[in-house]
A = this chain, B = another copy of it.
Amino acid sequence: MVTRLGPGAEFDLIRRFLAGERLPASDPPPAGVRVGPGDDCAVVAGEGIAITVDMTVEDVHFRRGWIGPAEIGYHAAASAISDLAAMAARPIGILAAVALGPGDEAEVGPALMDGIRAAAAAADATLLGGDLVRSPGPLVVDIVAVGEAPAPVLRSGARPGDEVWVTGTLGAAAAAVAAWLEGGTPPPAARGAFANPTPRVREARWLAERAELTAMVDLSDGIAGDAGHIAAASGVRVVIRAAAVPIAGPAAARPDALQLAAAGGEDYELCFTAAPGTVEPFVAGFRARYGIPLTKVGQVEAGQGAVVLDDRGEPVALAAFQHWSRP
């Protein structure tokens, strides 16, 4: 699968990166892969190819003091693969473009690449290629995730009357970030949720095969904001009940629990709308299979925008998740 590259320091690092993917010539290539890493492009085939790109920048999306290079790579790749989950696509592979800062070649680079590869492998994605360049300062990791999506679940199909559901629990990763920003050390469950998130690629396909999903997004910016993408794309209003939001343990232990769970970001759980009654029959089976809950958190109405309401039906004030304004 791996084409040989010419000489040069940059290619040595790419070679090392690709080494973990090298397969005996007798092995069949991974499903959907016609040309793997090492040529000018990768070539994939399938019935509808889903492609997404996700850029992670040091001191904007993470700090080196928070997580190690392998975790930085894992987080970057998992967050890109999560976009495939949001369409119920089957992951095929990833391409990784990495800019390494001064002195990062010897140890940070290889560890980062190990983390990228681990996240890809966890989602049954192979490494299809990439680009490796120098950065004058910050580490930059840009991941392209590629999957097969014969029947993608879009953001635009929600209809008034649909139910709103979410996988897993929310706010653990944001609790870790909050602890770091306060100068503290996050509890292990919170740290792990941030460092090694699980893109719900299998869960998404399992659900799409059973329930009547009408729209779906993955939660990178918090459900309060991301549900707004469904509302805007579908031309509907999405109403989330605050009391129904499943708050992760590390967030629940904090006074700003709802803020973290609804607008904290970095959860990489799925929020989807579905025709009424078509999800409920599968809640128990989902939990048994994947070990995480499936929770009905609201409904779709005529109108526009997404809103989180308290028990009296009043909108809850939440600070929007904003990478742009983060320190």
Q: Which residues of A contact B (CB under 8 A)?
A: 3-10, 34-35, 38-61, 83-84, 86-87, 89, 95-99, 128-131, 133-138, 140, 142, 144-147, 149, 152, 154-156, 216-218, 225-226, 228-229, 231-233, 235, 305-306, 320, 322-324
Chain B residues whose CB sits within 8 angstroms of the CB of A34 once the complex forms = 48, 152
Flag if A155 contacts B225 (CB, 8 Å).
no
CB-based nearest B residue for A56: B133
Q: Given A41-B84, A55-B142, output 11 extra A-B contacts at Cβ < 8 Å.
A: A7-B305, A39-B155, A40-B84, A43-B48, A43-B51, A51-B51, A60-B135, A97-B142, A134-B324, A138-B138, A140-B142
Chain B residues whose CB sits within 8 angstroms of the CB of A228 once the complex forms = 6-7
Flag if A43 contacts B142 (CB, 8 Å).
no
Nearest-neighbour CB distance to chain B for A114, whole angstroms, equals 19
Nearest-neighbour CB distance to chain B for A90, whole angstroms, equals 12
CB-based nearest B residue for A138: B136
Supposing A39-B87, A129-B53, A149-B43 touch, asked if A324 and B10 sit within 8 A by C-beta, the answer is: yes
Flag if A134 contacts B55 (CB, 8 Å).
no
Flag if A41 contacts B51 (CB, 8 Å).
yes
Chain B residues whose CB sits within 8 angstroms of the CB of A226 once the complex forms = 6
- Chain A interface, DSSP helix/strand/loop, else mixed: mixed
Flag if B144 contacts A51 (CB, 8 Å).
yes
The answer for the CA separation of A2 and B108 in the assembled complex, in Å, is 38
Flag if A99 contacts B53 (CB, 8 Å).
no
**Can you give 21 A-B contacts (C-beta < 8 A)?**
A6-B225, A8-B322, A9-B322, A34-B152, A35-B50, A35-B152, A40-B218, A41-B52, A41-B84, A41-B149, A43-B49, A43-B149, A51-B128, A53-B130, A53-B142, A55-B97, A57-B133, A57-B135, A58-B136, A134-B324, A137-B138
Shortest 6 CB-CB distances between A and B: which pairs?
A6-B228, A40-B86, A41-B50, A4-B232, A55-B97, A41-B52
The one of B44, B305, B324 in contact with A9, judged by C-beta atoms closer than 8 angstroms, is B324
CB-based nearest B residue for A54: B131
Supposing A35-B152, A229-B5 touch, asked if A48 and B51 sit within 8 A by C-beta, the answer is: no
Flag if B43 contacts A3 (CB, 8 Å).
no
The answer for the CA separation of A323 and B134 in the assembled complex, in Å, is 7
